[in-house]
Structure 1
Amino acid sequence: MTAADTVAAPPAALMPGDLMTRRQRLRLILVLGSLIAVGPLTIDMYLPALPAIVDDLATSSAAVQLTLTGTLIGLALGQLLIGPLSDAVGRRKPLIAGTALHIVASVCCALAPNIAVLGALRVVQGLGAAAAAVIAMAVVRDLFSGSSFAQLLSRLLLVMGAAPVLAPTLGSELLRWTQWRGVFAALAVFGVLLLLIAILGLPETLPPLRRQRGGVVPTVRLYGSLLRDRAFVGLVLVAGLAMAALFAYVGGSSFVLQGQYGLDEQQFGLAFGAGAIGLIAATQANVRLLRRYSPQRILFTALLVGSAASLVLLGFAATGIGGLPALLAALWVVLATAGLALPNAPALALTRHGEAAGTASALLGAAQFGIGAVAAPLVGVFGTGAMAMALVIAGGMVSALVVLLLVVRPGRLPAMQPETETMAVAVH
């Protein structure tokens, strides 16, 4: 008996994804990454146009920020509805229907006559985008678990990370040739491409024998069982609070960087993209870190460093020391630590409930976007300056660390199987 035999799990522990070739995994990452990207693109692509929307629709910056909140609310509510539905009928049908809704809503946003209509349509647009977000996460859980899940999710975040990097830049370039309405027309075109990808590139991953019984009562019971799991709820809150810090940056950055520091639309797109490089780099570093450290340890360290960096950011914003370079440097560190926290918190949470991956993913996504929906307008409530943005970012990161320590208690979570062990199973 070899050393590999002593650590390898029995064949029954294999997940379908463990038998995939490298090429098959790459194709899966590209397909699922395209699906996950629709949310960040829908949220971020119109950010450079926020000041222009204020002028064109004769409204206030706070009212325009509420259109971002509407999108996040739609994403949260949509996931709560689509998650259980996908556990009952499979992954493909809800994905196709939600993507079609996103296309229609994007076209209508491009034609919105006032801020109230635009805000309502952004909610509907978020509902449609929710299908791609929750289905992609559920498909990953259908195929993988444990450290394999966390590593594949990190790879997905590389693809997804390109969306917030490119979205404001793409929006800025579009604004050279069109008005803000053209941004929503471009989102409609992307939705059509996404629909083709869903139809042609994603097979059904939830066989009928593994589907949950549909209906209101079973769905309520399933949500109840998830909410009784203290560690799961804590990890969901951790992911939501970390996402809140990210959305505070998303919601406030255009007003801070353009309004307070005087960057134009193109400079803002470049600065926003440069900040997101930290997020992308960290998600890929996470793949290597998982070969040596547990997800629990990585998550704790990331939140500890992220909390410290967010407090430094708050100090820079309050005093003005270092100017814009210091502010962006502190933001880069916060985004990098978020890039480590965001793959590991969901992986730890969803590994606990593989039997209801769609519903668990929905609750996780709803918390992330729901808490983010609260964070974005908070920046507007406190003001539109760097101090307001930094205050909400610091609140999110510090709160996530507190919840991890007091509610989740990471030392009590069961160990997750390393990727090397999973590969040993596949080889043997």
Structure 2
Amino acid sequence: MSASILRPALVLGLLSAVGPFAIDMFLPAMPDIGASLGTSASVMQGTITSYFLAFGLAQLIYGPWADQAGRRLPIYVGLLIFMIGSLVCTFAPSATMLIVGRFIQGLGGAAVMVVPRAIIRDLHTGHEATRLMAAIMLVISISPFLAPLAGAGLMYLAGWRAIFAVLAAAALISLVITRTLLPETLPPSARQPVSLAAMRTGMLKLLRHRSFLALTFLGGFGLASFFVFIAQASFVYSQAFGLTPTQFSLAFALNAVGFFASSQFAAKLGMRYGAMPVMVRASTGFGLATLILLGIGISGHASLPVVMAGLFCANACLGLVIPTAMVMALEEHGEIAGLASSLGGTLQMLAGGLMVALSAPFFDGSVLPMLGAIAVCGTMTLLLARVVASTAPRTAQA
């Protein structure tokens, strides 16, 4: 990996991992937190939905702000807000206050998701941008391996509140990293003043751009499958399969291996076969894998090894889809990369949060409702890939 990719990948990857850590460290503790606060699994899923809702809406602010003020200031403010939310969660006396704290966390965590995407667009385009995105995802991949185990260990040693105290400390460390290692990538001459008129014009342009919307929601429903898994897996794995928090953490990490391993091949495969064919075929593989897994669940044969193997295959396909779709969605919108990144991120988070909210009433602690919701996401991803392919110029499909 060249130096032009390695350093920004490490810095942006570590910053971008703050949000996933806020989710993944929390997962093994969800059943215990629910019991501690005297609340139900459906209410605990609300802590996931509130985080994603705030995470999505806040991106509409950070993107345009990053186009006006540069990339670093919004990151500073976002990390401070995230730290405050983490402290609220640390001392939350009730499930309601925990949900509020998670909402504040989401408001801050959005900054270290949307702004790094715009920084990628500042530095590179095309296959180089895909390489950098994939490298960042490789750094982020430490989250599903270390965060759940760290969360389970902290819960065992000091109780679940220690998880959020550590997240507050992580935000402080991220502020230091931003101050010392992240240069400003948007020169003053390229900055655009924020105005409601300009935002409205830019948003209307993006919302009328069929390919942008299709690519955004394609990635959104792919991510939504993760959100459903995140919201429900800890309860399914503990109640239906009888796993301990540590065992769940290991199972969760294994399910993420396929995604992050395959994402490292996205740029190379795109250069060799074309980004569009890779994305369409990978989306097809993801959709079919989720439908097959649902069929196995309906037949009553969805054991833990089968579920883990099926999700591994599905996520391996998805690892080729997400970085490619994100880069392709921004490719034609360099002049409003911050706004495009924020609007795309908002739409994706809202799609994910909506899927979690819609699937929650059907959740009964068994594996079938989770597989059904994931299959819906897979089907939507498959269909949207076909829409993107049908609207792309013939040269882009080669």
The residue matched to 2:192 in structure 1 has which SS?
Answer: coil
Q: 1: CA distance between counterparts of 2:387 and 2:372?
A: 22
Distance 2:279 2:226 in 1: 16
Q: Which amino acid aligns with 2:367?
A: A
* Residue pair 1:146, 1:416 contacting (<8 A) in 2 also: no
Post-superposition shift, 1:95?
0.7
Q: 2 CA distance for matches of 1:282 and 1:343?
A: 10
Contact 2:280/2:389, CA 8 A, preserved across alignment: no
Q: Which runs of 5+ in 1 are unaligned?
A: 1-20, 418-428
Within 1, Cα distance between the matches of 2:320 and 2:371? 20
| Alpha-carbon offset, residue 23 of structure 1 | 2.2
Change (3 A) 1:405 1:24: closer
Q: What is the aligned counterpart of 1:30 among 6, 10, 18?
A: 10
**CA distance, structure 1, for counterparts of residue 168 and residue 316 of structure 2:** 31
Match of 2:122? Answer: 142
Say whether the 8 Å CA contact 1:33–1:156 is kept in structure 2. Answer: yes
Q: What is aligned with 2:86?
A: 106
Give the Cα separation in 2 of the matches to 1:45 and 1:317: 28
Deviations along 1:308-355, one digit per CA (max 9) or x if unpaired, are 100111122222326211111001111111111110101111111011
Give the number of the structure whose alpha-carbon radius of gyration is greater.
Answer: 1
Tell me how far 1:169 sits from its aligned partner. 1.6
Out of 31, 37, 40, the residue aligned to residue 60 of structure 1 is 40
The amino acid across from 1:269 in the alignment is S
Residue 395 (structure 1) aligns with: 376
- Match of 1:324? 304
Q: Tell me the equivalent position of 1:218.
A: 198
Matched, 1:406 2:387: yes
Alignment of 1:23-422 (within 5 A): 23-321=3-301, 323-383=303-363, 384-406=365-387, 409=390, 411-412=392-393, 415=396
Report the count of equivalent residues. 397
* Pair 376,165 (structure 1): closer, same or farther in 2 beyond 3 Å: farther
Does the aligned pair in 2 maintain the 1:111–1:181 contact within 8 Å? yes
The letter of the residue matching 1:402 is L
Q: Letter of the 1:290 partner, please give it.
A: G
Do 2:130 and 2:324's aligned partners in 1 also have CA atoms closer than 8 Å? yes
Give the aligned CA root-mean-square deviation in angstroms: 1.6
Where does structure 1 differ by over 6 angstroms across 4 or more consecutive aligned residues? none
Partner of 1:10: none
1:352 is paired with a residue of what secondary structure? coil
1:252 shift after superposition: 1.3
What letter matches 1:254 in structure 2? S
Letter in 1 for 2:174: L
Paired AA for residue 105 in structure 1: G
Whether the 8 Å contact between 2:127 and 2:267 is mirrored in structure 1 is: no
How far residue 413 of structure 1 moved from its aligned partner, in angstroms, is 6.5
Q: State whether residues 73 and 370 of structure 1, in contact with CA within 8 Å, keep that contact through their aligned partners in structure 2.
A: yes
The equivalent of 1:6 in structure 2 is none
Does the CA contact (< 8 Å) of 2:152 and 2:246 recur in 1? yes
Contact 1:134 / 1:361 at 8 angstroms: preserved in 2? yes
- The question of whether the paired residues in 2 share the 8 Å contact of 1:245 and 1:397 is answered with yes
Alpha-carbon distance, 1:414 to partner: 5.3
- Cα distance, 1:259 vs. partner? 1.0
The one-letter amino acid paired with 2:244 is D
Secondary structure class of the residue paired with 1:59:
coil
- Structure 1 residues 221 and 408: CA distance shift in structure 2, 3 A: farther
* 2:264 match: secondary structure: helix
State the TM-score, normalized to the length of structure 2. 0.96
Task: Tell me which amino acid in the other structure corresponds to 1:393.
Answer: I
Rounded Cα–Cα distance in structure 1 between residues aligned with 2:269 and 2:173: 34
Q: Deviations over 1:345-367 (max 9, x none)?
A: 01111111011111111112112
Report the Cα distance in structure 2 between the residues aligned to 1:296 and 1:24, rounded to whole angstroms: 26
Asked if the contact 1:87–1:211 (Cα under 8 Å) also holds between the matched residues in 2, the reply is: yes
Amino acid at match of 1:348: M
Partner of 1:7: none
Write out per-residue CA displacement over residues 278-328 of structure 1, whole angstroms, 9 at most, x where no aligned residue. 111111122331231111111101110111100111122222326211111
- The offset of 1:227, in angstroms, is 1.1
| Percentage of matched positions with identical amino acids | 36
Comparing 327-336 with 211-220, greater Cα deviation is found at: 211-220
2:84, 2:104 within 8 Å by CA — same for their partners in 1? no
Q: CA deviation at 1:239?
A: 0.8
SS at match of 2:271: coil
Q: What is the CA-CA distance between 1:39 and the residue it aligns to?
A: 1.4
Supply the AA of the counterpart residue of 2:245.
Answer: E
Q: Is the 8 A contact 2:211 2:392 kept in 1?
A: no
Following the alignment from structure 1 to structure 2, what is the Cα–Cα distance between the partners of residues 92 and 210? 15
